[in-house]
A = this chain, B = another copy of it.
């Protein structure tokens, strides 16, 4: 990297309001015109242009990683006939209370539901498309709206009746082994997406009583929000032959037998954007990772009488160079706002890097660079500005990722007594407690701690140092795993 001369050191970013998460979140998404929660239907909200620009960048990357791994994009209808929706008994039991019904002109002549997820829409078509073993593995995905008639309090971008950015992948495989290889691929895909957005995560196998309706098992990604509650940001389900049996989706094996396919499904939603906003922000506003910031660099000219022309010439030439290098640049040359006002504004909007150019800078062939993530300021040479900016944007992505992981790690602890665990939960975060693996004991732990089980760690040794410990609720039982407990969104 070019020599940067530090002129303003790293600042402690104020994070008081940020910790009062709901108020902060609702303030910042409205104030930055990312989102509007004043739409007159419960749990249904509006994405505004700045939010859509973030969304498009996130969606592009989500498409890219799915395409790269051989998933093919499809698009299925919103309507699912009830007859199909209700075929798999666990599935319908899990979803029937939160499904929206559709009828034409209020006559009720049709029995259709709005998809809450698309397993039962896809399976009848899988049956038509999958013939023999050469068609497997079969991997498709779509990015669509899904609908859940949430009875709990809805929450902008987090708990929705219309989830409008549901990426759901559905795959079919010859056997359990290949399906479980797919589960691993799905986990890698999600890690890649969260890493790209600098979002830290815990990976846990959800307990039996909290798996997806119709799944054999569910693996979930959770992140820790500023207030210490966790939020589920992605799930991966192994569905076994539960769906293929009821929809009769079979394939011809090389030896001439007909066998049921094993299926998986995995989903993420706009919650990834909510998480990204949540984990990186501060009291000043958004802080967007350069990877998906609609504006990566804002240039603020500092005008003094008589120097306008020279400054704007420099601004123009830098803008051109950066734009040609594929960097998303915005020049704020409004004349009715002061530079200070603009600094605050673009910090609130989360722009990762600001370039200030005044008369002295033009004269000295330099620019001033201000980082959103650390609030540091540097002087950098005008020469080689493209490389400097590119490198800095990468550094910012990485630094935001590390800071976020540091926060998540600081919010994750172990506890071996109920008191200790309660204390930890009350101060926020995730606590891992000893568990036998017995479902009744697991549910008893939830009750004891008045919190939810996220499940058993998949991203670390779930049995490390567990020997000799007793189940937190069932003291007659030996502990076999750590069980993650948290208060959840």
Q: Which A residues fall within an 8 A CB radius of B?
A: 36, 38-41, 44-49, 52-53, 55-56, 72-81, 84, 96-106, 112, 114, 121, 124-125, 128, 140, 145, 147, 149, 161-162, 164
Contact = CB atoms under 8 A, between A and B. Distances in A.
B46 A81 contact: no
Contacts of A55: 75
A74 B363 CA distance: 43
A45 B103 CA distance: 18
A162 B101 contact: no
Given A39-B76, A40-B84, A41-B79, 11 more contacts: A38-B125, A41-B80, A44-B79, A49-B72, A49-B74, A52-B73, A78-B162, A97-B105, A101-B106, A103-B103, A145-B145
Contacts of A162: 77-79
A101 B104 contact: yes
B77 A41 contact: yes
Contact of A105 (B38, B79, B81, B96): B96
B100 A101 contact: no
B46 A75 contact: yes
Which of A41, A48, A53 has most B Cβ within 10 Å?
A41
A290 to B, nearest CB: 21
A81 B41 contact: yes
A128 B39 CA distance: 10
B112 A39 contact: no
Contact of A114 (B48, B102, B106): B102
Nearest to A39: B77
B74 A46 contact: yes
Contacts of A103: 100-101, 103
A462 to B, nearest CB: 38
List the 7 closest A-B pairs by CB distance, nearest first: A44-B77, A49-B72, A47-B75, A104-B149, A52-B73, A41-B79, A101-B106
12 contacts: A36-B125, A36-B128, A39-B76, A39-B121, A44-B79, A45-B77, A46-B77, A47-B75, A77-B162, A96-B105, A98-B105, A99-B105
Contacts of A56: 73
B124 A78 contact: no
Contacts of A106: 101
Contacts of A74: 46-49, 52
Nearest to A73: B52
Which of A73, A75, A79, A164 has most B Cβ within 10 Å?
A75
A145 B46 contact: no
Contacts of A46: 74-77, 125
A74 to B, nearest CB: 6
A39 B125 contact: yes
Contacts of A140: 49
A418 B76 CA distance: 46
Which of A99, A102, A147, A164 has most B Cβ within 10 Å?
A102
Contacts of A75: 46-47, 52, 55, 164
Contacts of A102: 100-102, 114
A148 to B, nearest CB: 10
A259 B162 CA distance: 34
A55 B77 CA distance: 15
A102 B39 CA distance: 17
Contacts of A161: 79
A149 B52 contact: no
Nearest to A72: B49
Contact of A40 (B47, B101, B124): B124
A109 to B, nearest CB: 10
Which of A36, A72, A78, A162 has most B Cβ within 10 Å?
A78
Nearest to A164: B75
A100 B147 CA distance: 15
A56 B84 CA distance: 29
Which of A46, A98, A128, A140 has most B Cβ within 10 Å?
A46
Contact of A149 (B73, B100, B105, B147): B105
Nearest to A76: B46
Nearest to A97: B105
A158 B56 CA distance: 28
A456 B205 CA distance: 65
A387 to B, nearest CB: 23
A22 to B, nearest CB: 21
